[in-house]
């Protein structure tokens, strides 16, 4: 048995090599698209001046047609202004849903018309892992983007002076995240479950099934944990542009480092125990990170919005005091 990222693949060397090769090539393509998309499609402004007609076309392309925008505004703005702010970009939703729809359709078609080795539990786990990593990356980027951008422009501080409670601001952002990512995540889990069931009991060992199920559970838990962590890092850190990477490291990398260290300490006595250990470490980490991020956002969002929590406004004050002392 070999563990690859968040998935474990058991079986012969041919199955493993096919799974690793196909999954790696697809995963690299997905991650490349995610990196390109995160750096460009997430931006709201253009770097050049356009005519008014082209500005209207780009706005309709990015936010949706006027009638659709007004209907969305009426439906969401009264419920929660932050939910509306995070849900008004139609292009972002269309790109994400379209990308995941095409990826899942290609996966299903490949499984139906390919050789028998593609029907193994190990291959299913490998491909699902790379699709899950793509969604996790995008979720962390999106959760960090809104607060980081609003903090940079001062809009977050202004928003908190409108009478909205902290829990309404944070809850609106999380609702926008669910509105954007719930359907792609549910579709991915449904297709993975369908293909695992279609593989049948003869296409993988019991250990394969245990690990595939645990990976699915952790994926469903990692998504909201990444969102909470990225939101906190985007308002509390000195470099909000690094908030997504910090969240990914804390939620996805740290548990693996702890898991590898634990294996050296306790050893490997059964693969079922290894599976339970991996799931337990990931679950405890998610619980701790999510709980702390929620508590800190509730208690420190207003201070963080002013930049004081990250020390952004303390330096000018300090220099003023020092200048006064030198002048005296």
* CA dist 160 → 168, 209, 211 (Å): 10, 47, 44
Question: What is the pLDDT, as a whole number, of residue 33?
Answer: 55
- Is residue 9 helix, strand or coil? strand
Question: What is the pLDDT, as a whole number, of residue 206?
Answer: 74
Residue 328 CA to residue 325 CA, distance in Å, equals 5
> What is the residue-level pLDDT of the chain in tens, covering all 328 positions?
444 344 443 444 344 334 444 544 555 455 555 544 554 444 444 444 555 655 555 555 545 556 665 666 666 666 677 777 777 777 788 889 999 999 999 998 888 887 666 677 878 888 899 999 999 999 999 888 877 777 776 767 777 777 778 888 888 888 889 989 999 999 999 999 998 888 766 555 677 788 889 999 999 999 999 999 998 898 887 776 788 999 999 999 999 999 999 988 887 778 888 889 999 999 999 999 999 999 998 887 777 666 655 554 444 434 333 333 333 3
Residue 26 CA to residue 9 CA, distance in Å, equals 17
pTM of the model: 0.71
Residue 125 CA to residue 202 CA, distance in Å, equals 16
Longest dimension (CA), the chain: 85
Question: What is the pLDDT, as a whole number, of residue 71?
Answer: 64
């Amino acid at each position: 048995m070999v563990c690859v990222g968040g998935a474990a693949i058991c079986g012969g060397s041919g199955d493993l090599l096919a799974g690793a090769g196909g999954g790696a090539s697809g995963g690299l393509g997905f991650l490349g698209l995610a990196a390109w998309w995160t750096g460009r499609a997430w931006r709201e402004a253009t770097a050049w001046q356009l005519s008014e007609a082209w500005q209207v076309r780009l706005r309709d392309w990015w936010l949706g047609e006027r009638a659709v925008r007004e209907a969305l505004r009426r439906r969401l703005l009264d419920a929660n202004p932050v939910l509306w702010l995070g849900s008004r970009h139609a292009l972002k939703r269309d790109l994400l849903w379209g990308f995941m729809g095409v990826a899942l359709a290609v996966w299903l078609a490949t499984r139906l018309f390919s050789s028998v080795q593609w029907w193994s539990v190990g291959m299913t786990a490998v491909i699902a892992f790379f699709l899950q990593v793509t969604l996790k990356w995008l979720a962390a980027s999106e959760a960090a983007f809104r607060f980081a951008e609003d903090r940079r422009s001062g809009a977050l501080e202004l928003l908190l002076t409108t009478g909205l409670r902290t829990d309404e601001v944070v809850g609106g952002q999380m609702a926008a995240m669910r509105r954007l990512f719930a359907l792609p995540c549910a579709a991915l889990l449904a297709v993975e479950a369908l293909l695992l069931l279609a593989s049948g009991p003869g296409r993988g060992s019991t250990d394969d099934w245990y690990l595939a199920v645990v990976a699915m559970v952790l994926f469903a838990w990692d998504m909201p944990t990444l969102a909470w962590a990225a939101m906190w890092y985007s308002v509390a850190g000195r470099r909000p542009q690094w908030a997504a990477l910090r969240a990914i490291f804390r939620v996805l990398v740290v548990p693996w480092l702890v898991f590898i260290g634990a294996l050296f300490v306790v050893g490997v006595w059964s693969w079922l125990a290894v599976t339970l250990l991996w799931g337990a470490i990931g679950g405890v980490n998610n619980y701790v990170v999510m709980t702390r991020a929620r508590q800190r956002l509730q208690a420190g969002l207003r201070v963080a919005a002013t930049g004081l929590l990250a020390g952004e406004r303390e330096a000018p004050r300090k220099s003023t005091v020092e200048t006064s002392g030198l002048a005296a």
